[in-house]
Structures are given as structure tokens and as C-alpha cells.
Structure 1
Amino acid sequence: MNTKQEWIDKARVAYQKAYVPYSHFPVGACLVAKDGTTFTGVNIENASFGLTNCAERTAVFKAVSEGYTEFQHIIIAGETEAPIAPCGACRQVLSEFCSADMPVTLVNKDGKLKELTLGELLPYSFATLD
């Protein structure tokens, strides 16, 4: 089983592979399945910005395409001054497959961490509305 620091390292290495010719804003993610399998993702830009895919969704889509739908943790890392948070679309996609109490670790360029749960990031996801 990998350690949290190994997951952080994977997310930080991942963002070096981001395809960001327009924004120059690399982001990496490491999504951890319930069994400890990890999936990394990077943001992949497109000249039509609406077709850009974020690192978090890339990791989720890779995992789901391999048959994984239950997760225990996600790390999101960027070359930012403050720890980086996922966009609203990524929060909603994560809520489709992850519990509200799943830990989310946000990491900045210097390794500073912010620890939250998915529910704290998205308290009113479509999945929780009646």
C-alpha cells in the first residue's frame, strides 16, 4: 500500500506532464482507489477552452475506464502559491464516485498542504439534493 507522501509525490510528478500551451498552468492529480491502486491525471488544454480537461477528471476517467468506481483519497497539486482546489465541474464528477467524507489533499508548489473532505468542497452536490 502506498503512503500519502507517495501519492503527493505522484501528483507533483504528474503535473510536469500537463499539456498547457495556452494557460501555462499545470495541474496534477493522484486518485487512490479503495484497494490502493493509483491513477494520475493532468490537465490537457485545447485551443477551444471548453474542450480542455482538468487533471482530476482525467484521473477519474482513467480509473473508471479501467473498472474502478470506489475511491479513498485524491491529491491535487499545482505550481501555485496556495494549495490548489478543483473547479466546480471536477467537484461534481468526483461526487459521482466518491463519498462526501473522502479526504482531499490540496498541494502547492512548495508542498504546503490543505486537507479537506469532498463534502467540504462541494456541500450541495447533485447527489445530495432531494
Structure 2
Amino acid sequence: MSAGFTAEQLTQVAIEARLNAYAPYSGFLVGAAVCDEQGEIHSGCNVENASYGLTICAERVAICKAVSLGRRRLVAVAVATEGGHAPCGACRQFIAEFAQELPIYLVDAVTAEVSTVQIEELLPRRFDFS
């Protein structure tokens, strides 16, 4: 990552963002952090809704924060859950929109274990208009 941010710093931001998750229906708390091309980190948490389809994932919250500041390229993503789960399919496509190659750090927020995957491993044939 650029600007001196480490994977450990990015994963810590994701763990901290998870504490703000609003998940009264599932109890599944998720935090995310994305690092943009300028080295800035943007965090997000999942926000559930009684109308389940309106729920927004932590990864998309973090990415939308970056995009709303004019950032168009991501260089790394961290996702913190209990168990270190990978992003859902919608989030995989959303991540791929802003980076064709980048590491995704999957953090178990309980044990602090981290595994690293590449976006192309999670979404090998992403949708695009090219």
C-alpha cells in the first residue's frame, strides 16, 4: 500500500469500524476499510434494515465514502467479521469496479487472524462492459 499504511493498520481500522455496525436482525457485525490510490483509508460498517433488501454492507459503505471524496481507484480492502468471512457477491463486484487487482484482508475480529486473497480469486470473471 502507498503512503506508509500497512496491512495491520488497515485491518485495525476495519475491526474498529465493526464496532459501529447496526445489525439488530442478524447480529452479524461487519467492518471494512479501504485504502485509496492516495493512501487514505476510508471505513464503513454494515447497516441493516427491517426491510432486509435495504441493508447495505460494510464494504460498500467504505467504498462509497471513498468515491464521494473523488477517489476512483482502490489499492487494498480489509473486512472484519467474526470468523473472517469473505465479502458477499455484490460486494465482490463492487470492489472489482474500482480495482482489477488488489489484496483483500479477511480479518477474524475475535482472534485477529488475517488471511489474504486477491479480488480475482473471489471474482474471477467479473462483469464489465468491455
Q: TM-score, normalised by structure 2?
A: 0.92
Aligned match of 1:105? 105
| 2:44 equivalent to 1:24 | no
Structure 1 residue 79 displacement after superposition: 2.0
Q: 1:54 — aligned with what?
A: 57
Q: Deviations over 1:71-94 (max 9, x none)?
A: 1100000122xx210000000111
State the alpha-carbon separation in 2 of the partners of residues 102 and 111 from structure 1. Answer: 21
1:10 Cα deviation after fit: 0.5
Q: Distance in 1 between the 2:74 and 2:95 partners?
A: 9
Contact kept, 8 Å, 2:14 with 2:79, in 1: the verdict is: yes
Contact 2:7-2:105 at 8 Å conserved across structures:
no
Q: Please state whether the residue corresponding to 1:107 is helix, strand or coil.
A: strand
2: distance between equivalents of 1:2 and 1:102?
14
**Which residue of structure 1 lines up, in the alignment, with residue 74 of structure 2?**
71
- Gaps in structure 2 of 5+ consecutive residues: none
> What secondary structure sits across from 1:9 in the alignment?
helix
Secondary structure class of the residue paired with 2:19: helix
Runs of 4+ off more than 6 Å: none
How large is the Cα RMSD of the aligned pairs?
A: 1.2
2: CA distance, partners of 1:63 / 1:88: 20
Helix, strand or coil for the counterpart of 1:85?
A: coil
3-state DSSP of counterpart to 1:17: coil
Give the Cα–Cα distance (whole angstroms) in 2 for the partners of residues 125 and 27 of structure 1: 23
| Gap regions ≥5 residues in structure 1 | none
Q: How many percent identity over aligned positions? A: 41
User: How far does the alpha carbon of each residue in 1:47-90 deviate from its partner, in whole angstroms, 9 at most, with x for none?
Assistant: 0110000000001111101100111100000122xx21000000
Which is worse superposed, 1-10 or 88-97? Answer: 1-10
The structure carrying a bigger helix percent of its residues is: 1
Q: Residue 125 of structure 1 corresponds to which residue in structure 2?
A: 126
Matched positions, count: 126
Distance 1:104 1:2 in 2: 14
